[in-house]
Amino acid sequence: MNYEFFIAKRLVARQNKTSGFSRTILGIAVAGIAVGIAVMLVSIAIVTGFKNEISRKVVGFGSHISITNYDSNSSFETVPISGEQSWFASLREMDGIKSVSRYITKAGIVKTDECLQGVVFKGVDSEYDWSFFEEYLVDGKIPEISDTARTNDVLVSKSIANALNLKLGDSFASYFIQNPPRMRKFTIAGIYDTQLEEFDKMYILADIKHLRKLNDWKEGQVSGFEVKVDDIGRLDEYCQKVSRKCCSYNPDDEMLKVISIKDEYPGIFDWLSLLDMNVWIILILMVAVTGFNMISGLLVLILERVNMIGILKSIGATNRSVRKVFLYFASYLIVKGLLWGNVIGLLLCILQKYFGIVKLDPTSYYVTTVPINLDVVNILILNVGTLAVIVLMIILPSFIVSKITPADSMRFD
């Protein structure tokens, strides 16, 4: 054990047993660090949780990557492509690809005795992954779609059901504006509620065979394919791989377009990206405040220990060694503040995550409670980064010990 660390330990033990002005100042510095790290931890947990929740809901209505006809525009009346592509099986087996499914979208108008509303029907087949809608199912069941007979059962949102005064098991008429106009009757098999109003007010999920018949498309033709990946952080990489595989060879001479969810809904994801700037501002401000609190505490500690500094120098201690004593002591205070801050921050996050104490308006925020994402990697990086930055901030003030000489310490006394 080096003697600088030994002296620092003795200072810590003595500081914990004594009371006075310096202990109060150091206590405030530790409390400032604890509050700062708690605020930073909660901020990161909320922002990452909010981004993850909204991204997951947007992807749940669509997919990470869409493959459509190159001539298709942003409307829901699409140009058909063949559902039997040569690359379909190999794309499913590609590393990082979670699922690949076919779909058809078609705009329609739902009419009841009292109400009228425009919606978008999304047709899916028997291979569709219903896990997202199962999570947000509030009544009824998921429609059972087979490869043979068509089913009239559909899945509607709570928002649409309320707007049209419909309930589980009710039938309704849907009109499709085309030449000639057509009408179909559907039955509500299940009701979902994701609180993502922009999409809840729009989508009804139905059997893909109904929409193919309405469009007068050939057997097997679809609007496109939906591809879900394991890691949205590598979305651009996966998008390039899917594009190379799907567009390099097409036996039907179909021009295909591959687009990511971020490009399909740029407004939502640009808005989520802006939240990162808010987090960085909070992190910078909190680290600056906690750092200056620690600098104040260190200066008070040095001024209180001028006699000790003079004695250490008189027996041969170098300025570097004396600085190390105070840096060790300050590091102890920083770690103590970090530990308390983590306890407070994690406790607040856990209470919110499992009890949903803070509520939100879903029409404005798309969620009913403040979402929390506790990531061990983020917590470790935050603590290590904060510790490193504060230690670097107090190195410069510690050079004040080099200005103190044994003679000055006697005069100070």
Cα 173 to Cα 184: distance, rounded to the nearest angstrom: 6
Instruction: For residues 297 and 397, state if they share a domain.
Output: yes
Lowest mean pLDDT among 140-144, 249-253, 281-285, 371-375: 249-253
Among candidate residues 224, 254, 284, the one where a domain is terminated: 254
Among candidate residues 254, 279, 314, the one where a domain is terminated: 254
Instruction: For residues 300 and 334, state if they share a domain.
Output: yes
Would you say residue 172 lies in a domain?
Answer: yes
Instruction: For residues 88 and 179, state if they share a domain.
Output: yes
Lowest mean pLDDT among 56-70, 76-90, 307-321, 330-344: 307-321
Instruction: For residues 132 and 211, state if they share a domain.
Output: yes
Among candidate residues 227, 254, 281, the one where a domain is terminated: 254
Instruction: For residues 51 and 97, state if they share a domain.
Output: no
Q: Report the number of distinct structural domains present in the chain.
A: 2
Would you say residue 260 lies in a domain?
Answer: no
Instruction: For residues 159 and 223, state if they share a domain.
Output: yes
The residue type found at 197 is E
Instruction: For residues 308 and 380, state if they share a domain.
Output: yes
Instruction: For residues 362 and 305, state if they share a domain.
Output: yes
* Residue 274 vs residues 80, 277, 396: alpha-carbon distances, Å: 36, 6, 35
What pLDDT was estimated at residue 100? 92
The pLDDT tens digits for 163-205 are 999 999 999 999 998 888 899 999 999 999 998 888 999 999 9
Instruction: For residues 292 and 216, state if they share a domain.
Output: no
Instruction: For residues 234 and 85, state if they share a domain.
Output: yes
User: Cis ω on the peptide bond leading into residue 180 (within 30° of 0)?
Assistant: yes
Would you say residue 16 lies in a domain?
Answer: yes
Would you say residue 261 lies in a domain?
Answer: no
The pLDDT tens digits for 198-241 are 899 999 999 999 999 999 999 889 999 999 999 888 998 999 99
Nearest residue to 36 (alpha-carbon basis) of 393, 314, 325: 393
Quote the crossing angle between the two packed helices 266-304 and 21-61, to the nearest 10°.
170
CB 105 within 8 A of CB 122: yes
Q: How many CB atoms lie within 10 A of CB 195?
A: 20
Query: Which residue range is the domain that position 343 belongs to?
Result: 3-58+268-412
Instruction: For residues 312 and 202, state if they share a domain.
Output: no
Quote the crossing angle between the two packed helices 21-61 and 319-355, to the nearest 10°.
40
Lowest mean pLDDT among 52-66, 189-203, 252-266: 252-266
Instruction: For residues 322 and 205, state if they share a domain.
Output: no
The residue type found at 225 is F
